[in-house]
Amino acid sequence: MISPNFPPTGYPYIMIPHPSNNELTVGRVHTRDLTTLDLYVQHYVIVTEPIDSHSLKNTHRNADAKGNVKYSTTRSASAIKQCPGCTQHNQDALDHANRIARRNCRSKITCLFSQATNVATVLPIKSHQLYQDIILLQHPINNLLHTNHSNILPSPSTPIDRSELNLPHQSQPDNVDIDRIVNSNNLNFQLIDHLIKSPDIASQLKQHAKALEGYHILSFYTDGSLVRTTLINDVMGLGWVNENNEALKFQASATSWPSSTKAEMLACLTALITAPCHAKVTIHTDSKATIDGFHRLPEFNRLSIRKREKITNYPIWCMLSFIIAQINLDVTMTKVKAHSGDRLNDMADELAKKAVIQSPRLILNLTNILALRMIMTVDDFHIEMSSRQCLKHLSHAKNFYQFLLLRRSDELLLLSEQHHIQWTITTRMLNSNQTDTDRATTSFTQHRRRAFKFKLFMKELPTLTQLNQRRPDLYRTTTYVLCHREAESQEHV
C-alpha cells in the first residue's frame, strides 16, 4: 500500500514523522536540500467535512460526469487538503521555503517543516483528481495509519543509518592495511572512500579517523603552501596537526587549479573528514579568505548552481558543506597570525611546505557531490570554474588560434611561438579606452581610435606600399612624398 522507494526528484505526497512529536504526518515535498539530504514538507490535514461541499475542477470531464458513480464512491478513499497554518510548522524553514518559492515562481507555502529524506514514504494518490482544493488517496488514511510502520518508517529519534547514502560504492584499495583499518560502518570511512580518489591518502586519513573516534572536542592547526615551480605547473602543499594528539599529522600535495586559498581549504577539508560524528571542531588557520568564505557558507548553500559557479573554488565549498552536514559537525574557524611563533601553526606550515616535494597527490572525486548537479570533465580532469566562463575562454582561444593561422599573421605567429609577445598586456592595450567614461559607450571617436590601433598593430595602415599592392593602376609609385628617397611604409612613417 505504501511504496518504500522514495523518488530522488519531484514533489510527491508523503507520510513522514514530524520532527517535534514523532507522530506520522501527511504532507507534500515542497523542495529539497541536496547538501543535508533534508526535505521541506508542506503540511496537509485530513478533510473531515463532506467532500461534496468542495468545488469541482472546472473541466468538461467533470461537468459532463456529474452524478456519475465515481462521485459517490469517493468515500472509499481519504481526502487531504493543504493546512492553512498551525503550531506544527517551523518558521525558519517556512521563511526559507517561501524565498525559494518566490525565486522559482511557485505558490506560497502556508505550513511547513523539515525532516530527513530517509524517513519519508510516498503516499498513493488517485490518478484523476476531481476537486479543486482537496487530494484523494487511493486507500483510506485509517488503513495507512494502522499499518505497522516499524519496518517502513524508521524513528527520527534513532541514529540514521548513513550507509544508504546515494553514493557509488568503491572497492577497498589494494595497498590499504586491512589489519589496521577494519571495514566497518564508520561514516568517516564511507566519506573518505567516496570523496578521496588517492589510495595512499585515503588509507592515511582512515587511520587518523580511527584514532579520533573517541574525541568529541577537536582542534586542528591547518596550513597550505603554493610553490610556483615552472611556467606551466604550480604545486600546492597542505598539512595539519591535531592539537588533541600531536602525533596525528597529515600532509599531501595537489596540482589542479592551484591557488594559496585552495591549499588552505584542502587542508581544512582533509582535517574535517577525519572528525567523528557530532564533534565540535575548531580549525586554526592563518588564511582570512578561508575564514570569510566559511562564514558565508550558509548563504552559499542557498544559492543556485549558476550563482555558485561564480564563486572561486565553489566545488571545494560544496564538498566542505557536504562533509559538515553528513557528519553533523559544529565547526569554528579561528584566525592565527602567520609566523608569529605559534608552535603548532609553525609545525603545520612546515608540513605544508615539505608536502610540495615528498607527499602524494590529493585527488578529489567531485562527481559524488549531489549539490554540484553538474561538473565538466576533460579526460577525467575536473574543470573547477564556471561553465559559462570556461566555454567563453575556449571560444576565445579557438578564435585567437584561427587568427594566428591567417597569412597576414605569419610574423605574429612566429613571435608568439618564441614568447616575444605578452598577449595579456597587448590585448589590454588594444581594447583600452581613453577615459573611464568611455567603458559603457561606443562612440565614433572611440571606434576610430581603436581601429587605428589595430591597423598599426597588424601593419595595415594605408601607406603607399599597401595601396600599391591593392591598386597598382592608381598608385604607381611608393616613394614617400616628403623625403622623395624611400618607400612610404609603416616602418618609415
Q: Confidence band (pLDDT; 50, 70, 90) for 160?
A: very low
Comparing 215 with 162, which gets the higher pLDDT?
Answer: 215
Phi, psi of 359 (to 5 degrees): -105, 155
Q: Does the pLDDT value for residue 155 go beyond 60?
A: no
pLDDT band of residue 178 (cuts 50, 70, 90) is: very low
**Overall average pLDDT of the 145-159 stretch:** 37
Q: Which of 122-126, 129-133, 157-161 has the lowest mean pLDDT?
A: 157-161
* Tens-place pLDDT, residues 328-355: 999 999 999 888 888 999 999 999 999 9
CB 366 within 8 A of CB 382: yes
Average pLDDT over residues 145-164: 37
Contact 85, 111 (CB under 8 A): yes
Q: What is the pLDDT of residue 206?
A: 92
Q: Which of 59-73, 190-204, 266-280 has the lowest mean pLDDT?
A: 59-73
Tell me how far CA of residue 386 lies from CA of 7, 301, 305, 315, 374, in angstroms.
29, 17, 10, 10, 11
- What's the CA gap between 176 and 439, in Å, rounded? 58
> 273-325, pLDDT tens digit by residue?
999 999 999 999 999 999 999 999 989 888 888 888 888 888 899 999 999 98
Q: What DSSP designation does 136 have?
A: E
CB 220 within 8 A of CB 284: yes
105: left (phi over 0), alpha (psi -120 to 50) or beta: left
Type of residue found at 265? M
Using 50, 70 and 90 to split pLDDT, how confident is the model at 437? Answer: low
The pLDDT of residue 158: 33
Per-residue pLDDT, averaged over 442-467, amounts to 85
- Give the residue among 481, 454, 446, 453 at the shortest CA–CA distance from 467: 481
Which of 202-206, 243-247, 481-485 shows the lowest mean pLDDT across its residues?
A: 481-485
Is this structure's pTM higher than 0.85? no
| Residue 69 pLDDT exceeds 70 | no
Average pLDDT over residues 165-170: 36
32 has which bridge partners?
Answer: 39
Per-residue pLDDT for 469 more than 90? no
Burial class of residue 40 (count of CB atoms within 10 Å of its CB; 0-12, 13-18, 19+): buried
φ, ψ of residue 8 to 5 degrees: the values are: -75, -20
Cα 116 to Cα 38: distance, rounded to the nearest angstrom = 4
Residue 428 has pLDDT above 90, yes or no: no
DSSP state of 52: G
Q: Of 76-85, 173-182, 297-306, where does mean pLDDT reach its minimum? A: 173-182
Q: Residue 87 and residue 463: Cα distance in Å, rounded?
A: 84
Spatial CA neighbour of 31 closest among 100, 116, 110, 107: 100
Contacts (Cβ under 8 Å, ≥6 apart) of 210: 180, 181, 182, 186
Beta-bridge partners for 116: 38
Q: Is 73 exposed, middle or buried (0-12, 13-18, 19+ CB in 10 A)?
A: exposed
Position 147 scores a pLDDT of: 45
Mean pLDDT in the chain? 78
Other Cβ atoms less than 10 A from the Cβ of 393: the count is 12
Residue 257 pLDDT > 70: yes
Tell me which DSSP letter residue 260 carries. Answer: H
Helices (H) and strands (E) in the chain, counts: 17, 14
Q: Give the confidence band of 185 by pLDDT, cuts at 50, 70, 90.
A: very low
pLDDT above 70 covers what percent of the chain?
A: 78
Contacts of 237 (CB under 8 A, 6+ apart): 224, 225, 226, 227, 251, 252, 253, 263, 351, 352, 353, 354, 355, 356, 359
- Give which of 211, 209, 269, 216 is closest to 239, Cα–Cα: 269
With residue 161 as reference, give the H or E element that holds it.
Answer: none
Weakest mean pLDDT among 65-79, 158-172, 179-193, 446-460: 158-172
pLDDT for 100 equals 65
pLDDT in the model for residue 430:
84
Categorize the per-residue pLDDT at 149 as very low, low, confident or very high, splitting at 50, 70 and 90.
very low
Q: What is the pLDDT of residue 333?
A: 94
Q: Would you say residue 409 has pLDDT above 90?
A: no
Residues 6+ apart with CB under 8 A from 450: 430, 431
